[in-house]
Structure 1
Amino acid sequence: MLVQASRAAPDNSEILYNLGNARASLGEFDTAIIAYHQALALEPNRAEYHNNLGRALEGARRIGEAVEAYSRALALQPAFAGALTNLGNAYLDLGRPADALQCHRQAIAHQRDFDAAYSNLIFALNFDPAAGPHDHARERARFGDIHRPQLPAGAVSGRQRDPDRRLRIGYVSAHFRHQAATYAFAPVIIHHDRRAFEVICYSDTAPEDALTHKLRDSAKTWRSTADLSDAKLAALIKSDQIDILVDLVGHMVGNRLGVFAARPAPVQVTGWGEPTGTGLPAMDYLLGDPVLVSEPVRALLREQVIDLPCFLCFWTPESLPDPGPPPAVAAGHVTFGSFNRPAKLSDPVLRLWARILREAPTSRLVLKSPHLGDPAHQQRINAIFGSEGISPDRLTILGASDRGSHMKAYQLIDVALDPFPHGGGMTTLDATAMGVPVITCPGPTISSRLAAACLTALGLTDWIATSHEDYVALALRKAADLEGLASLRQSLRTRLSRSPVGDAATYTRAVEAAYRGIWQRHCEARDGS
C-alpha cells in the first residue's frame, strides 16, 4: 500500500519516508535508501529523515555515507539523541572507539532514559584499549541501577518447586538467523533433551531465514515478539510460566534487557551473544568459562558465573570445505589473516600487524569481513599500513560472500591474528575448523579473552601470547615452522570436533546440566529467589 501511495502522491515526503522505513525493516536497504533520498529531496531539513537514511546506509554497508547522514541530522538537531548514538555506532565500526563513546555519552546526557544508548556505550567499551574491568563494571552498574526490578524474584516463583521436573526454558533474541553468535547457541536449541526441557523462543528476528525456520522447528513454542513492548513481552513470558529465561544478546543491538529487568521468570541467565555481563540486578547467571571470566572480574559482576566447557559451542549448519594445504607451501611465503569485523581492527591493532609484516618481509595479510567491501574501511586500512611502510600489494581485503565462500577463504591464510582489546570468539572457532591456528594476546577484560578461552578449551595454549611483544615474536616463530603448520592444519578440525566445544550434543548436555543445577539451587533457596 505504501508503494501505491508513493506513486499516487510522489510529492508527499511522509509517505516516502514511511516507505523507506518499511523497506529497511525488511532488510531491503538499497530500496529504502532511494525512498529516503526522495523524501529528503522534498524536505531536506528533516533530521529524522537523515537519521534513518544513515541507518539504511549502514545496513547497506556504506559506513562513510552513513556518518555523513548522521552528521547532517545533528547539524539540524544537535540534541537528537538517536542520531548521536547511531553516529557512535558508525564510529565504532570505523575503529574509532573513543569517538563512539563520546557520542553515546552525549546521547545519554540529552536523554537520560535512553536504554539503547546505555547499551551501545557498554558494548563500545569492549573496543576501548583504555577501558579496564572496573570501567566496564561501573557502566554496567549504572545501567543496572536504572533497571532495578520492581518485584523480587520470589514474586514470580509460583512454579512447582520440584528440582527434577521438566523445565520450561525461554530464549529471547533478535538474532535467530544466520550470523556468528547464533552458531554458538543454535545447537543447544536443536539438540535439547525434549524429555527434560521444553523450549520456548521469543523472537524479534527480522528478516528471518532458513536457520530461523530450523530453530522454530526445534522449539516447542515459537513466539514472534518484535511488535511487543517490553512490558507486554514480560507479561507474555510470565503467562507462559517460564522457569529459566535466557538472554542471547547481552548489550548488542536488538537486546531486550528491559524485559529481564522486570524479572518475568524466577531464574534468569545471559550468555553466548555478548557474554560480558549485563549489570542487571535481576540477571542471576552468566554462562562463561574459567578463562573467559577471570577471578578478579567475577567479583565485579552482578551475575554469578556458570562455567561451561567453553563459553561457546562450534556448530555449522552445512558441511565445510576441506582446509587444504598451508598456502605457504605453494606461495613461498606465509600469509597471516583476520576475518574479524572492522570495529575490532583499531589503529593500534593494524600497526602491530604491520610490525609483524615488516619483520617477516615476504609475508602477506588477508583481511575479510562482510563490511570490508566499503571503501571507507579500505581507505582507512590502506592508509595505516601505508604509513607503516607496508605496500598495498601485501594486503588483500575481501568483503561479503556467502558462508561457504567465507569459510573457503581460510584456505588463503596460514596463521590467523586475533585483534585486541576485543578478540574473536566464533571467528577463532571458524579458523580452527578450517585448520588455521590463531594467535591471541588476552587482557584483563572479558572481551579480550574470547580467543584465549577457545584456544585453552582446545589445548592450544602455546598460541596464547603474554604481551604485545610476545605476540609479535610468537607470530614470527609459528609462521617460520612450516612443517608444524602443515601438521596442525590437518588435525585441527578433528581436534575441534572431538572436543566438548565442537561436539554439539555433548556441549548441550553440559548446558542442560547447568540449567538443572541452577534450578535445583532455586528450589533449595528458602525464599525461592
Structure 2
Amino acid sequence: MSAVQQPVAAPQDLDWLGNLLGAAAWSPLTPPAALRLSGILGGLRLESVLPLLEEASRQGRRQPVIALYRAWIAANPQSGQCFAGWFNLGVEYARAGETAEAALAYRQALALQPALWQASVNLGLALEASGQAEAALAVWEEALQPDEARVTLLNQRGRLLEERKHFVAAEATLRASLRIDAQQPDALQHWGHLRQKACIWPLHEPLLPGLAASEMALHAGPLGVLALTDDVAQQRRTVEAWLARKVPAAPARLSPAEGYRHERIRVGYLSSDFCRHAMSFLIVNLLERHDRGAFEVFGYCSSPEDGSDIRQRVLRALDHHVPIGQLDDAAAARRIREDEIDILVDLNGVTRGARLQCLRWKPAPVQVTYLGYVGPLPLPELDYILCDDHVIPPALAGQYAPRPLPLPGLYQANDSRMPALPALTRATEGLPDDAIVFCCMANHYKVTEDVFGAWMTILAQVPHAVLWLAEDTEDSRGNLLRRAAQRGVAPARLIFAPRVDPAHYLARLGLADLFLDTFPYNSGTVASDALRMGLPLLTLSGRAFASRMAGSLLRAIGLEETIAETMAAYVDKAVAAGTDPTLLARWRAVLAGDAWARTIGDSAAFTRGLEAVFRRIRLEPDLAADR
C-alpha cells in the first residue's frame, strides 16, 4: 500500500541502487558498500527509491528489498516518513511469510502514526497468521480510524470472529459495518448467515437502514438462501448475483465441443471433500462399484489429508487420484483437459472448497453438478444438475439452471456397507428412558424461527417428550434455550448431542422415536442415516430441491405417510406420533428389516442407474432438452 511519487535522487545513485537490488544473489553488504548505501540514503526522501523497491518487490526479491527498507529507516531516524518506511517494510515481511517481523514493523509504524489504520488492518492479519487470533481482534477493536476506514476494520474483525465461531459477536460487528455502508454484498451475506447460524430471529428484522428485504434476500449467499426461502426463482437470483461477483468467465474453452471417443467413458469427480465429510460417506460405494469395463474413474482432489479411513477408501476406489490442491484453477482445468475427461462431475457446487473457476474453462465437454449444492447453480459451463423427479418435479424443471437431469428412482447415492456400531443406550447418551424423544441432528442454521416454533408447539402438546438436537455452537444453543423458555417450554426438555465419530453418531440415531426435519432446507445425508437406523422421519416438502430431499428418501423407502405439505399438517403428524404408540410402531415397521438396504441403500442398483444416464449423455449430449 505504498504511494509512488516522483524520485528525487541523483541518477547515478539510483543506478547503483538498482544494481544492488538486481544482483543475481543477495548477500550482506561489505563495509564499504554499506557505508556508501548509508551515505546515499541519508536525508533522501522515501519516494526517491520507491520505484526501484516496488519493481524489485514485484520480481519477488524479498531479502534485498527488506534490507534496503531497513537501511533507509536506519539512515533517516528523524524523518517524518519513517512511519511509511516501517509500514512498507511490514508489507515485505508479510509477503516473505515472516509474520512476527511484519507485526513488529507495523507496530513501529503505528507508534509513529497511530491513525494509520491500514497498519492496524495489516498488523491484525499478521497476528492472525501467526496464531494470535485474540491479539488480532484486539488490534482491530482498538484501532484509531476515520469513518471511511472503520468498515474495513469491522469486516476483518467480523470475519475472524466468525471463523472462531463467535457468531453473536461477529453478527454485531458486521451489523455495525453495514450501518456505515449498507451496500456491501459480502458483508451482508455473512451477516445474514451469521444470524441463521446463531438462531438470531427475526432473521431480517429492520436493523439496516436503506436496505429492503429483497436486497437482503438477494445477497443471502448460496447456502444461506436455501435455509431462507422455498422460492426457486429467488434462490436462482441469489446464486446468480453471487456468481456474477465471484466467478468471472474464463478466457477460453479448453475441451472440444464434439467430445472424445474413448473405449471406456472417462468420468472425473471434482471435489474438496474426499475426506471425513458427508460427501465421501455418500459417494464412496458408487466409486467402488463403477463398471471398470465401461468406465475409467478419475478423482480431482483438493481435499485435506486427514488420515481418515473414509479418505483412504475413496482413494482406493479411484482409478486415478489426481491431487489439484496446489494448482490454481487454470492449471487444474488444463490437467483435466489433458486427461480427456468425457464427463466431469462437480461434487461441491458452491460449498466450501468449490473450484467453480476451474469449471468455467470447460475442461470437459460435459459437466454436471451433483450432491454438493441442492439448488439452482446457473453457471453457463455446467450442462446438468443430477436429481430425481421428486426433488425437481418436471413441472418446475424450467426454473432451474443448469438443466435438471433425473436419475431413475432416487437422486442420492449411499453406501451399502454398514460400519461396526457401538452398543449405546439412552442412559449413555443422556436421554430419559421414559420419554418420547423427538430429534433433529441438523446444523442450526437450518433451524428457522417457524420450524422451531412448530417444535415448541409439538412439545407443548406432547408433555412427556424431549427434543434432542445436535450440538452446534454456544451462541445458537443459548438462543434456542431462551426461545424455548419464552414459549413456556422448560430448557431441560432440550438436550444437545455432542459431536462424535461417525459410527457413534449413526448408532445413537436409533435411540430416538421420531426425527423432526427442518424446512425449507431439509436434511439429506442425516435423513438417510436416520432411516437406515430404523428411525421414522417427519418432513415438510415444499417446492425447491432443498425442501424435497427428505421426501424423496421417504418415497423411495415407502413411508410417504410422514411427508407433510403444510406446517400445520407437520405439527399434527408429530403430535399424533408422540401420543399414539401404535402409529410410531407402524412407521417403524415400514423401516424394519432390509427396507433401507433394498431401497435407499441399494448402491448396486443406484450405480447401474447413474451409469445408464452417463451412457445416454455420451450418446445424446442434449438429452435433457426433451423434458
2:376 paired residue among 277, 282, 292: 277
Report what 1:305 is aligned to.
Answer: 405
Confirm whether residue 123 of structure 1 aligns to residue 227 of structure 2: no
Residues 160, 10 of structure 1: CA spacing in aligned structure 2 closer, same or farther, 3 A cutoff? closer
d(CA) in 1 for partners of 2:380, 2:517: 33
SS in 1 for 2:609: helix
Alignment map for 1:64-79 (pairs within 5 Å): 64-71=168-175
- After alignment, is 422-431 or 258-267 more displaced? 258-267
d(CA) in 2 for partners of 1:200, 1:192: 11
Q: Which amino acid aligns with 1:282?
A: E
Residues 412, 226 of structure 1: CA spacing in aligned structure 2 closer, same or farther, 3 A cutoff? same
1:238 deviates by: 1.6
- After alignment, is 168-177 or 197-206 more displaced? 197-206
CA RMSD of aligned residues (A): 4.0
Q: Which amino acid aligns with 1:242?
A: I
- After alignment, is 260-269 or 486-495 more displaced? 486-495
Post-superposition CA distance 1:33-77 (Å, at most 9, x none): 246347648857686665455445434433223324545666787
Report what 1:175 is aligned to.
Answer: 273
Equivalent pair of 2:186/2:219 in contact (CA under 8 Å): no
Q: Which amino acid aligns with 1:20?
A: E
Report what 2:284 is aligned to.
Answer: 186
Residues 325, 459 of structure 1: CA spacing in aligned structure 2 closer, same or farther, 3 A cutoff? farther
d(CA) in 2 for partners of 1:283, 1:39: 44
Identity between Structure 1 and Structure 2 (%):
24
Q: Which amino acid aligns with 2:128?
A: G
d(CA) in 2 for partners of 1:102, 1:286: 37
Q: Which amino acid aligns with 2:269?
A: Y
d(CA) in 1 for partners of 2:202, 2:356: 23
Normalised to the residue count of structure 1, the TM-score between the two structures is 0.81
Confirm whether residue 161 of structure 1 aligns to residue 265 of structure 2: no
1:415 deviates by: 0.5
Confirm whether residue 347 of structure 1 aligns to residue 449 of structure 2: yes
1:451 deviates by: 0.6
Report what 1:386 is aligned to.
Answer: 485
Report what 1:204 is aligned to.
Answer: 302
Confirm whether residue 63 of structure 1 aligns to residue 167 of structure 2: yes
Residues 349, 44 of structure 1: CA spacing in aligned structure 2 closer, same or farther, 3 A cutoff? farther
Residues 243, 236 of structure 1: CA spacing in aligned structure 2 closer, same or farther, 3 A cutoff? same
Confirm whether residue 90 of structure 1 aligns to residue 194 of structure 2: yes
Equivalent pair of 1:333/1:362 in contact (CA under 8 Å): yes
1:313 deviates by: 2.4
1:433 deviates by: 2.0
Report what 2:579 is aligned to.
Answer: 480
d(CA) in 1 for partners of 2:555, 2:233: 25
d(CA) in 1 for partners of 2:134, 2:385: 43
Alignment map for 1:120-159 (pairs within 5 Å): 121-129=221-229, 131-140=230-239, 156-157=256-257, 159=259
Post-superposition CA distance 1:156-178 (Å, at most 9, x none): 2354336xx21211112222222
Q: Which amino acid aligns with 1:318?
A: P
Equivalent pair of 1:33/1:56 in contact (CA under 8 Å): yes
Equivalent pair of 2:260/2:340 in contact (CA under 8 Å): no
Confirm whether residue 337 of structure 1 aligns to residue 435 of structure 2: no
1:214 deviates by: 3.0
Equivalent pair of 2:100/2:126 in contact (CA under 8 Å): no
Q: Which amino acid aligns with 1:517?
A: R
d(CA) in 1 for partners of 2:453, 2:623: 54
Structure 1 alignment gaps of length 5 or more:
24-30, 111-116
1:197 deviates by: 1.9
Alignment map for 1:226-375 (pairs within 5 Å): 226-302=325-401, 303-315=403-415, 318-321=419-422, 331-369=433-471, 371=472, 374-375=473-474
d(CA) in 2 for partners of 1:336, 1:486: 15
Report what 1:464 is aligned to.
Answer: 563
Post-superposition CA distance 1:406-441 (Å, at most 9, x none): 234324421110111111111111111222110011
Report what 1:402 is aligned to.
Answer: 501
- After alignment, is 339-348 or 220-229 more displaced? 220-229
d(CA) in 2 for partners of 1:385, 1:439: 21
1:101 deviates by: 13
Post-superposition CA distance 1:133-179 (Å, at most 9, x none): 232344456667897977998962354336xx212111122222222
SS in 1 for 2:620: helix
Equivalent pair of 2:554/2:562 in contact (CA under 8 Å): yes
Report what 1:429 is aligned to.
Answer: 528
1:2 deviates by: 4.8
d(CA) in 1 for partners of 2:138, 2:315: 38
Q: Which amino acid aligns with 1:17?
A: L
Equivalent pair of 2:124/2:135 in contact (CA under 8 Å): yes
Report what 2:125 is aligned to.
Answer: 17
Structure 2 alignment gaps of length 5 or more:
1-96, 109-119
d(CA) in 2 for partners of 1:67, 1:336: 30
d(CA) in 2 for partners of 1:121, 1:523: 30
2:322 paired residue among 208, 219, 223: 223
SS in 2 for 1:181: helix
SS in 2 for 1:409: helix
Confirm whether residue 449 of structure 1 aligns to residue 557 of structure 2: no
Residues 487, 297 of structure 1: CA spacing in aligned structure 2 closer, same or farther, 3 A cutoff? closer
SS in 2 for 1:495: coil
Confirm whether residue 415 of structure 1 aligns to residue 523 of structure 2: no
1:309 deviates by: 2.9
Residues 85, 523 of structure 1: CA spacing in aligned structure 2 closer, same or farther, 3 A cutoff? closer
Equivalent pair of 1:325/1:489 in contact (CA under 8 Å): no
Equivalent pair of 2:465/2:578 in contact (CA under 8 Å): no
Residues 19, 222 of structure 1: CA spacing in aligned structure 2 closer, same or farther, 3 A cutoff? farther
Equivalent pair of 1:433/1:493 in contact (CA under 8 Å): no
Residues 99, 262 of structure 1: CA spacing in aligned structure 2 closer, same or farther, 3 A cutoff? farther
Q: Which amino acid aligns with 1:306?
A: P
Q: Which amino acid aligns with 1:156?
A: P
Report 1 or 2 for greater relative contact order, CA contacts < 8 Å, sequence distance ≥ 6.
Answer: 1
Equivalent pair of 2:387/2:404 in contact (CA under 8 Å): no
